[in-house]
Amino acid sequence: MNATLPSAEVLRATLAGLLDGLPPKQAAQAVERLIANYRGTTPTDAPVLRDRSDVAAYAAYRMPATFEAVRSALDALREAAPDWAPVTHTDVGGGTGAASWAVAGAWAGEEPRTTVLDWAEPALALGRELAELSGIPALRAAEWRRARIGAGLELAPADLVTVSYVLNELTADVRAALVDTAAAAAQAVLVVEPGTPDGYARIIEARDRLIAAGLTVAAPCPHSAACPIEPGTDWCHFSARVSRSSLHRRVKGGSLPYEDEKFSYVVATRFGTQPVTARVTRKPQIRKGQVLLDLCTRDEALRRATVTKRHGELYRAARDIAWGDEWPPPGEDG
């Protein structure tokens, strides 16, 4: 496969080529168990992915969604720090490498040196195979290393550390230790969790620890002060559209050609960034002659903005705005 940068299309094609012989019944059973673990709240002290069948099912079930969620978060980081690009990247609990695929394609002309750490050797093995089949230099050059993702984990200094869909597998004390370790090692830390109330709670915990370690929030928040959401009343999350291949639909038992991945995230840095003035935190409501936007703002508050036709160009911009975008758009006067 000739590709220079990862994309959703390249990932789907690579997965299809590697997993073509996966028995549907076996895959479905593995996916059911993985979904139960993914949605559960019970931490584990053993790898969730036990063998190649588990890993193959996981790759078909989760890699496209994880890739899109991490890519969306990285887009926000690039917007906040347009002149910065990582040279080194550590993917903690990276499994088959979905986050590493997203990082490899986020900065055009740059090929970060990636190290993927995971405690499941079958996941690392499949990740290596996918990277090799991709034909993408940055992925093929990545180091895939077995490491226990726990309180004793040591991380070498890196420009970027990603921790995607990992914290839900850990106990509270181990989560805290891992975030502290990432903060000490990195210039930028990205943490992604499921877009559920529990996932958001873990993101807030990580956000607080990153700030306490001296980092500042680059995205999605417009500020590094306390989150204005009252605990228990709501949760901050976003959505990424995921195109589903026939393999993906077969494994997940769905019929639609797409799904929407809900995720929560935070990215914090040790270097200066330009956070957005406000972030759209819900799907915009388009009504006759007006658009309703739910915003998290730089003055540390949540507010509803109503944009009407009398706002002219701003109204036209609001009709095209998406959940998770900055507001007002660059170049527009709010």
Q: Tell which of 209, 240, 269 closes a domain.
A: 269
Say whether both 246 and 298 belong to one domain.
no
Say whether both 214 and 308 belong to one domain.
no
Q: Tell which of 228, 243, 269 closes a domain.
A: 269
Query: Is residue 265 a part of any domain in this protein?
Result: yes
Say whether both 105 and 206 belong to one domain.
yes
Query: Is residue 313 a part of any domain in this protein?
Result: yes
Say whether both 265 and 294 belong to one domain.
no
Q: Which domain holds residue 283?
A: 278-320
Query: Is residue 159 a part of any domain in this protein?
Result: yes
Query: Is residue 157 a part of any domain in this protein?
Result: yes
Query: Is residue 3 a part of any domain in this protein?
Result: no
Say whether both 124 and 143 belong to one domain.
yes
Using 50, 70 and 90 to split pLDDT, how confident is the model at 2? very low
In this prediction the pTM is: 0.89
Tens digits of per-residue pLDDT, 270-291?
999 999 999 999 999 999 999 9
Say whether both 57 and 140 belong to one domain.
yes
The set of residues, in sequence order, having a beta carbon less than 8 Å from that of 35 and lying 6+ positions away, is: 61
Query: Is residue 59 a part of any domain in this protein?
Result: yes
What is the pLDDT averaged over residues 228-247? 85
What is the pLDDT averaged over residues 7-25? 74
Tens digits of per-residue pLDDT, 140-180?
999 999 999 988 899 999 999 999 999 998 999 999 999 99
Say whether both 303 and 202 belong to one domain.
no
More confident call, 14 vs 184? 184
Q: For all residues of the chain together, what is the average pLDDT?
A: 87
CATH number of the CATH domain containing 252: 3.40.50.150
What is the pLDDT averaged over residues 222-232? 93
More confident call, 94 vs 56? 94
Query: Is residue 308 a part of any domain in this protein?
Result: yes
What is the pLDDT averaged over residues 321-334? 84
Say whether both 178 and 293 belong to one domain.
no
Q: Tell which of 250, 269, 288 closes a domain.
A: 269
Lookup: tokens for 58: 């996981």
Say whether both 191 and 303 belong to one domain.
no
Number of domains in the chain: 2
Say whether both 78 and 109 belong to one domain.
yes
Cα separation, 197 vs 19, whole angstroms: 33
Say whether both 156 and 50 belong to one domain.
yes
Using 50, 70 and 90 to split pLDDT, how confident is the model at 48? low
Say whether both 200 and 60 belong to one domain.
yes
**What is the per-residue pLDDT for 247?**
58
